[in-house]
Amino acid sequence: MPDLGPRFDELLRRLGEISDLEQASSLLSWDEETKMPPLGAPARAEQLATLARLAHELGTAPELGALLEELRGVEEVLAAESFEASVVRVARRDYEKKRRVPSELRAEMTRAGSLGYRAWLDAREASDFGILRPHLERRIELMHRYVACHEPYDDAYDVLLDDHEPGMRTADVESVFARLKAELVPLVAAVEPVDDSCVHGDFPAERQREFSLEVLHRWGMDDRAWRLDDTVHPFSSNISVSDIRITARFDREDLTGILSCLHEFGHGLYERQVDAQYTRTPLQAGASSSFHESQSRLWENVVGRRPSTWRFFYPRLRELLPAEFGAVALEDFLRALNRVAPSVRRVDADEVTYPLHIVLRFELERAMLAGDVTPAELPEAFDAKLREYLGVEPENVVEGVLQDVHWSDSNFGYFPTYAIGSVIAVQLWGRATSELGDLDAQFAGGEFAFLREWLRENVHRWGRVFEPPELLERVVGGPLDPGPYLAYLGEKVAALSR
């Protein structure tokens, strides 16, 4: 065993400072999307750019590289999953990756992302894609410079994907998506939509919020460590393992705000249950975006649309909204909640059509990166794919290409992780139920702790110790496999016609 003492402490000190700057950025971004008045945008873009540049400089400092070199021996003598070996390994990977990108470019990407976000809001307000277009052109130009920093690569998109999904290649996504598309397009075309009028109406936002909070508290949200705030595009943000911020948008006309709360809870829970020892180190986060989405989609869909779950919660929803649900039977409510019907908006999509929204965005991102679709051509290309895969037509650009925030800020390469995450969610669910037995009986009795603790033990507590393919292998005993997910979706559709 080498003498880690002072050198490892010095490494933790440096990594702690980087983490502090990154978490401070998260807090500024959270504020930007929840509280900041619009005219704060230009100054906020500068503040975020400065923090990003400082974090980048600390994260690429030659002294840090030298320290990581000196600590190489740690990985040979300590178990790979030990705290020390994991910190050194993950910090080195981050260091080597960051070193490829000049801090000026990093700061410029952050600034452009922040200004792009504001332009996206303005474009939506004015229903005018032209407001966002120059920002998108700028983003793509910066993305090319960013990708060029990572040569050689097999596929330019690999570089963007790796930021969200370490170890995954564009070709892996393509093969999973080809199978999803081949099976889901005909499945969706054959589904007869059920009557879901009971989940459309006028549901006061305050009642929806109250109900959502009751569900989340029952699932494990603790007010000493969590907050729920309003935003335009819901997200979750962790400032630390005990400062979890989730956001929501409750629209009066339907219950999608509740489901998106359940989604963000999954993200928050993941960060909340990371081993507290990893605080202020690079291990203090989920394994990847797909693993994150596996958690959000597990709680939103696999648990959140489940009959047993609603056997417990539906009476309370009825109490809060008696005029709307007093006369609606649980079975009818569940059929409406699990309705399958193509729609224009991704975030409102049912579980079966959802992956097709992702496939089309993945294809468009690749086309934009390759220059096959220019930002000016994007609105029409977007609508064309919606028509082709889902047979629907947006009424305007706000409903169409401007519906998602991702292309305005810095999230190219993120979309695939929603669908990959859904695949992982069902694999994890299969494993959890084989180990924990009848979770439906527990859910119907309001007991969700067994699943939550199983996820903590097997997935959450490990943070970034394992790369996604290794973590998946450890938990489910096999690689990424869309088979169980497709079977699960097939069963969903079959249940609707019974």
Task: Spell out the residues 6+ positions from residue 329 whose beta carbon is closer than 8 angstroms to its own.
Answer: none
Q: How far is the CB of 422 from Zn ion (least distance, A)?
A: 10
Rounded to whole angstroms, how far apart are CA atoms 350 and 313? 20
Rounded to whole angstroms, how far apart are CA atoms 259 and 127? 26
Give yes or no for a cis peptide into 469 (omega within 30° of 0): no
Task: Spell out the residues 6+ positions from residue 229 whose beta carbon is closer than 8 angstroms to its own.
Answer: 34, 35, 245, 246, 247, 248
Query: How far does CA 462 lie from the centroid of its chain?
Result: 18
User: Among residues 108, 165, 264, 363, which one is catalytic?
Assistant: 264
Catalytic status, residue 264: yes
SS3 321: coil
Tokens of 328: 């609606």
Tokens of 333: 């409510």
Whether the CB-CB separation of 216 and 300 falls below 8 Å is answered with no
Query: How far does CA 101 lie from the centroid of its chain?
Result: 24
Q: How far is the CB of 67 from Zn ion (least distance, A)?
A: 35
Tokens of 217: 């508290």
SS3 272: helix
Rounded to whole angstroms, how far apart are CA atoms 179 and 17? 44
Task: Give me Rg for the CA atoms of the chain.
Answer: 23
Whether the CB-CB separation of 68 and 95 falls below 8 Å is answered with yes
Tokens of 213: 């909070």
Answer positive or negative: Cα dihedral of 407, 413, 419, 421: negative
Closest of 207, 403, 280 to residue 17, by C-alpha = 280
Tokens of 279: 């605080």
Task: Spell out the residues 6+ positions from residue 124 whose beta carbon is closer than 8 angstroms to its own.
Answer: 398, 402
Tokens of 224: 């000493």
Rounded to whole angstroms, how far apart are CA atoms 325 and 101? 55
Whether the CB-CB separation of 383 and 393 falls below 8 Å is answered with yes
Task: Spell out the residues 6+ positions from residue 415 whose beta carbon is closer than 8 angstroms to its own.
Answer: 358, 361, 362, 365, 406
Instruction: Tell the burial category of 130 from Cβ atoms under 10 Å away from its Cβ (0-12, 13-18, 19+).
Output: exposed
The conformation of residue 480, written as its DSSP 8-state character, comes to -
Rounded to whole angstroms, how far apart are CA atoms 253 and 330? 20
Closest of 219, 294, 270 to residue 462, by C-alpha = 270
- Work out the angle at residue 452's Cα, subtended by the Cα atoms of residues 87 and 456, and round it to the nearest 5 degrees: 15
Measured from the CB atom, is 293 or 399 closer to Zn ion? 293
| Contact residues for Zn ion, defined by CB under 5 A | 296
Name the residues annotated as catalytic.
264
